[in-house]
Amino acid sequence: MAATESADGGKSSWPSQYDESGLTGMDKVEQELRGADLELVCSLPDGRVETVRCSLGHDVANCKGQLSRRLDVPYQALQLFLEDKLMFDPLSFNDFPQIDQSGATPVQIRVECSVPIPEPGVASAVSEPVE
């Protein structure tokens, strides 16, 4: 690593913790552990499509949580299916061999919901009260 300039203009023996891209060594380790970025194309029962972005190392619960907040439905009401197989919450996306591990191919997910999904812009029963 390159040495940094000290306040008096001399070279310091302490290397910068950030590289040229602004990441620290731990940032790089974390990024490597998360895996490739995924694009999940979620087809809803009403025909709408929601795209969720996460990492290969994230679990199914991460995607369900994002959808729950976005759609304003209870988390427990959502079920995700990949090639007609239920995706269980504790599994991560790298547990599914049919998902491209490089993240280059969008993942097609079918979503089922046990409660009606409100239209965009319409508050549901799980919405926070508006004051």
72-83 tens-digit pLDDT: 999 999 999 999
Give pLDDT, residue 124.
56
Predicted confidence (pLDDT) per residue in 29-58, tens digit? 666 666 789 999 999 999 999 999 999 999
Give pLDDT, residue 16.
72
> How many CB atoms sit inside 10 A of residue 96's CB?
16
Question: 35-116: what CATH class?
Answer: alpha beta
The residue ranges of every structural domain in the chain are 35-116
Question: Region 11-34: what's the mean pLDDT?
Answer: 66
pLDDT band at 130 (very low <50, low <70, confident <90, very high): very low
127 secondary structure, DSSP code? S
φ/ψ of 84, rounded to 5, equals 65, 15
Give pLDDT, residue 1.
44
Give pLDDT, residue 64.
97
Adjacency order of strands within the sheet including 37-43: 49-55, 37-43, 107-113, 78-82, 85-87
Total-model pTM: 0.71
Question: Region 13-35: what's the mean pLDDT?
Answer: 68
Cα distances (Å, whole numbers) of residue 57 to 34, 52, 69, 92, 115: 5, 14, 21, 6, 29
